[in-house]
Amino acid sequence: LAERNPRVRASIAAHHDELRALAAADAADFTEQCIDCVAMIDEECFVTGSDSGAICLWSVQKKKPVFIHHLAHGVFPSPTDTAEQQQPPIPPRPFWISALCAVPLTDLFLSASSDGAIRLWRMRAGKVPGFDLVNFIAVKGFVNGLSVCELPSDELVSPKRDIVVAAAVGQEPRLGRWDKMSARNVIKLYTLKALPQKSLQ
């Protein structure tokens, strides 16, 4: 995975800066109305994505999320029209989470929206629950579905394998036609290369 790429690090840093700016401004209350997608991490926890832009980590032993990442895909850009700017300011509108998918038997999962990127997250190690952004894939359009599989390896026992990501991309959201983008209705395939293992010698 390309988390050592300077461009990826810059994008992740910008993502955190945007979250801090929105938290400091306190411009809107991003209330969750419905959960649109879910993905199982393991037999004890799973993640959900909602229309508030939040990704929640749940445990089967708890009634409430054990961790919430608000505005995981950011917010829609502010209007640039002068006439619209003269009206009362419109509160930020988050990109809702439209698809989730976990890589089987790993600590990785992916999320998607219509913000132009599929984001790759990694579960935190240790007793403190949570996850962090580690990579992204640029994609144009509404990502209405995600699926992943690991490619076979030449080694019989290989802890790290390349991952193929299949994304169902469309011009419109899968649940309605209230928005439209200039994109193609296609299935896009992406390959995430595993980092080479360090030699023990």
Mean pLDDT, 10 residues at a time, over the chain (201 residues)?
60 65 54 85 94 92 92 80 57 88 91 94 90 92 93 67 91 85 92 63 40
Quick one: pLDDT at residue 199?
40
Q: What is the dihedral of CA 102, 177, 52, 81, to 10 degrees?
A: 130
Is the separation of the CB atoms in 47 and 67 below 8 Å? no
Pairing mode of beta strands 117-123, 131-138: antiparallel
Task: Give the closest residue to 32 by CA, choosing from 68, 61, 63.
Answer: 68
pLDDT tens profile 55-105: 999 999 999 999 999 889 988 887 665 555 556 666 778 899 999 999 988
Quick one: pLDDT at residue 201?
40
Strand 99-102's sheet: what is its strand order?
A: 99-102, 108-112, 117-123, 131-138
- Output Rg (C-alpha) for the chain, integer angstroms: 18
Q: What is the pTM of this model?
A: 0.79
Quick one: pLDDT at residue 112?
96
